[in-house]
Amino acid sequence: MKARLIESLNAKQATIGIVGLGYVGLPLLLRYCEVGYKVVGFDIDRDKVDKLLAGKSYIEHIPDNSVARAIEQGFDATTDFSRASEVDALILCVPTPLNKYREPDLSFVMNTVEALAPHMRQGQIVSLESTTYPGTTDEELRPRIERFGHTIGEDIFLVFSPEREDPGNANFTTNTIPKVCGGCTPNCLEAGMALYGQVIDQVVPVSSTRAAELTKLLENIHRAVNIGLVNEMKIVADKMGIDIHEVIRAAATKPFGFVAYYPGPGLGGHCIPIDPFYLTWKAREFGVHTRFIELAGEINSSMPDYVISKITSALNAVRKSIAGSKILVLGIAYKKNVDDMRESPSVALMERLRDLGAEIAYSDPHIPAFPKMRDHSFDLKSVSLTAETLASYDCVLLATDHDRFDYEMISKHSQLIVDSRGRYLEPSSHIVKA
């Protein structure tokens, strides 16, 4: 059974099912289509499915013609999970957020597996790509699949292969980013290597699903901890009257032993603010208190309040208060040059400023209208940046430094700028670094 599956995958005769058609699933399905596989996309969101079937993309950096080309190559999308029996591979790319207690919320993964498992058949491979704590694939997915009479490693092959996406980074694409893969059994790993081998330039095998799960967490915790360090250094440098961005640029000239990380108004995206808590939660099961990780989390979580304090001081210096001030937030995506707002610190800043009585507006060339979000609500549209518009605000907060902003024009016509991204290098009396 394994040999037949691997032969089908290597010959590109297998049908690939991608479950969850968001920032991870959509690029991946396009890659499988690109190299010649037949692909079926699964999602619970009817609007997403309808847009894809109409040849339209809902992610800015993925053009419509890429979706239309996939449809020409046989791509199909559906909300009907019973069609899981039609595919040879099921790749799960669903969210793994935190609940209100900052604990792992695996409901999307579990609900997806529960919906798919009754329709799984012998000879399929199932791969989980969603970031999670070590043990999830073995402890949660495996028993749910085996409950329907399957034996993992014999008639169904189960792997964990964490997603690695960097939206907006033109230097790396789905196929050029090396991919880690771990299997529940050696047979599972062998099938997993075949699943990804035709679409990813380099597949990196590890000894188990748990090792693969921890690999993903280490990658993101490494980034979160280093950002926490540089955010703390920013506060120290500010107290000393030193520009931390100048210091980072100088330190980055060292050709060894230093990697440049940059401070900001807080952590954003679906990985870095969330993933460390998956490990800290699981570590408690083993009696381990992850103090280093949690300290970095505390520092990063406090950064929006630090930015608010800088805005307060800057307005006070010109005899104004936050209450009643008109404040324009530049950039509400979580990182520059993308339309992704997941966990964006800009939203936290907007909410804090609104609660303090400010009149809030925003400008973001990538997000024309504030989208519907589960936990946040603003009835706002992006403001066009003109000399007159900028001059009408008491304060302009640079929260996300998109390249499409005209920074010279913004500086020339704004009364006061609070720069949380270090975009403005030269000192100026009306620019405050935050």
Does residue 333 contact residue 421 with C-beta atoms inside 8 Å? no
| CA atoms of 166 and 104, how far apart (whole Å) | 22
Q: Summarize pLDDT for 261-283 with one digit per residue, the tens.
A: 999 999 887 778 888 889 999 99
**239 backbone dihedrals φ, ψ, rounded to 5°:** -65, -30
pLDDT of amino acid 357: 97
Q: What single DSSP character describes residue 381?
A: B
Q: What is the mean pLDDT of the chain?
A: 95
| CA atoms of 39 and 50, how far apart (whole Å) | 16
For residue 202, pLDDT beyond 80: yes
Rounded to an integer, the average pLDDT of 12-40 is 96
For the chain, what percentages of helix, strand and coil (3-state, to nearest 5) are there? 40, 15, 45
Q: Summarize pLDDT for 82-119 with one digit per residue, the tens.
A: 999 999 999 999 999 988 888 899 999 999 999 999 99
Does residue 395 contact residue 307 with C-beta atoms inside 8 Å? no
pLDDT of amino acid 374: 72
Catalytic residue among 181, 184, 188, 271: 271
Active site residue 271: yes
The strand ranges marked E within 71-114 are 76-78, 89-92
For residue 408, pLDDT beyond 90: yes
Same fold? 2-206, 234-433: yes
Rounded to an integer, the average pLDDT of 405-421 is 97
pTM of the model: 0.92
For residue 431, pLDDT beyond 90: yes
Does residue 246 contact residue 315 with C-beta atoms inside 8 Å? no
Helix (H, G, I), strand (E, B) or coil at 355: helix
**159 backbone dihedrals φ, ψ, rounded to 5°:** -135, 160
Q: Summarize pLDDT for 131-140 with one digit per residue, the tens.
A: 999 999 999 9
Asked which of 161-175, 193-207, 234-248, 375-389 is least confident by mean pLDDT, the reply is: 161-175
| CA atoms of 160 and 213, how far apart (whole Å) | 7
> pLDDT confidence of 401, banded at 50, 70, 90?
very high
pLDDT of amino acid 6: 95
Q: Residue ranges per domain, the chain? A: 2-206, 234-433
Q: What is the distance in angstroms between the CA of the first residue and the CA of the last residue of the chain?
A: 59
| CA atoms of 418 and 434, how far apart (whole Å) | 6
- The number of beta carbons lying within 10 Å of the beta carbon of residue 358 is 24
Does residue 161 contact residue 183 with C-beta atoms inside 8 Å? no
Q: Summarize pLDDT for 176-199 with one digit per residue, the tens.
A: 999 999 999 999 999 999 999 999
Of 384, 383, 392, nearest to 415 (Cα)?
Answer: 392
Q: Which CATH number fits domain 234-433: 3.30.1330.60, 3.30.1490.110, 3.40.50.720, 3.40.50.300?
A: 3.40.50.720
In angstroms, what is the C-alpha Rg of the chain?
Answer: 24
Provide CATH code, domain 2-206: 3.40.50.720
Beta-carbon contacts of residue 190 (< 8 Å; ≥ 6 apart):
2, 6, 183
Sign (positive or negative) of CA dihedral 111, 114, 116, 122: positive
Tell me the DSSP string of 346-389.
Answer: HHHHHHHHHHTT-EEEEE-TT-SBPPP-SS-----BPPP--HHH
For residue 168, pLDDT beyond 90: no
Rounded to an integer, the average pLDDT of 205-221 is 97
pLDDT of amino acid 170: 80
Of 25, 34, 16, nearest to 88 (Cα)?
Answer: 16
Rounded to an integer, the average pLDDT of 22-46 is 96
pLDDT of amino acid 376: 78
pLDDT of amino acid 200: 97
Rounded to an integer, the average pLDDT of 338-353 is 94
* Strand 38-42 with 15-19, pairing: parallel
pLDDT of amino acid 411: 97
Q: In the structure encoding, which two tokens stand for residue 402, read together?
A: 């998109």
